[in-house]
């Protein structure tokens, strides 16, 4: 990854308010501890101050809210495209369909799915296993332990691509069919 990508990823880890040791951050970003210290210096030059906790149980903590700009389309972007008056309506429709196929931020999530969405995003970032109770059309409700890899939007619904330990295979799970979710203290 590029330096700027790593710095932004480091900010994403720190924005939850948890303390991370330099070693943890370097392992997550797959860089040396020296680079983590350099990223901190670069962020402080930009006015983003990361607190350092000294000692054997020390680390870095971000004690301010940082708004990281999103690169994804949102519902406002789509509504803007819909409101345009252009000569080439067909081309606009093609563009709108492309935008719809991309991920909107938390688009179409029901309240009960938002918690699931957030837990899965955290699990993906920190490479943690998740236990879910999933409704299968064929077998009903089944408990599974999964290793979530990525979130995706399809047919107006969110899904997660994950390695399923029960089936020993990569599977896709729809968020709306996840009844219960629990973040496990196991990494992968």
pTM attached to this predicted model: 0.47
pLDDT in tens, 140-163: 999 999 999 988 776 667 889 999
Q: What is the pLDDT of residue 103?
A: 47
* Least confident span in 28-32, 111-115, 135-139: 111-115
User: Per-residue confidence at 129, pLDDT binned at 50, 70, 90?
Assistant: very high
Q: What is the pLDDT of residue 109?
A: 61
The per-residue pLDDT of the chain, averaged, comes to 83
Cβ–Cβ under 8 Å, residues 43 and 7: yes
Angle at 132 between CA 126 and CA 136, to 5 degrees: 135
Judge whether residue 107 has pLDDT over 70: no
- Domains of the chain, first to last: 3-61 (1.10.10.10), 71-105 (no CATH), 111-187 (2.30.30)
State the sign of the Cα–Cα–Cα–Cα dihedral 58, 60, 61, 64. positive
Q: What is the pLDDT of residue 167?
A: 92
Q: What is the pLDDT of residue 155?
A: 64
Q: What is the pLDDT of residue 108?
A: 52
pLDDT in tens, 48-91: 888 899 988 889 998 877 766 555 566 777 778 778 777 777 77
Cβ–Cβ under 8 Å, residues 113 and 106: no
State the sign of the Cα–Cα–Cα–Cα dihedral 23, 26, 28, 31. negative
Angle at 130 between CA 9 and CA 73, to 5 degrees: 45
Cβ–Cβ under 8 Å, residues 41 and 3: no
- Kind and range of the H or E element at 134? strand 128-136
**How many C-beta neighbours within 10 Å does residue 16 have?**
11
Buried b / exposed e across 77-96, counting CB within 10 Å, b at 16+?
ebeebeeeeeeeeeeeeeee
**Spatial distance between the Cα atoms of 130 and 15, rounded to a whole number of angstroms:** 21
To the nearest 10°, the Cα dihedral for 106, 111, 115, 121? -10
Judge whether residue 106 has pLDDT over 50: no
Judge whether residue 47 has pLDDT over 60: yes
Judge whether residue 97 has pLDDT over 50: yes
In the chain, % helix, strand, coil (3-state, to 5) comes to 40, 30, 30
């Amino acid at each position: 990854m590029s330096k700027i990508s790593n710095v932004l990823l480091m900010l994403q880890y720190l924005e939850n308010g948890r303390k991370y040791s330099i070693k943890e951050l370097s392992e997550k970003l797959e860089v040396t501890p020296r680079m983590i210290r350099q990223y901190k210096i670069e962020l402080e030059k930009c006015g983003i101050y990361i607190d350092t906790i000294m000692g054997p149980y020390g680390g870095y903590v971000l004690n301010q809210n940082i708004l990281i700009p999103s690169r994804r389309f949102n519902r406002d972007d789509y509504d803007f495209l819909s409101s345009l008056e252009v000569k080439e309506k067909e081309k606009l429709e093609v563009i709108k369909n492309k935008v719809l196929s991309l991920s909107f931020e938390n688009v179409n999530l029901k309240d009960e799915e938002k918690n699931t969405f957030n837990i899965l995003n955290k699990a993906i970032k920190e490479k943690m296993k998740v236990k879910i109770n999933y409704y299968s059309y064929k077998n009903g409700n089944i408990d599974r332990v999964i290793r979530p890899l990525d979130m995706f939007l399809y047919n107006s619904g969110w899904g997660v691509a994950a390695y399923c330990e029960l089936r020993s295979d990569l599977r896709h799970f729809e968020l709306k069919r996840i009844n219960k979710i629990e973040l496990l203290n196991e990494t992968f």
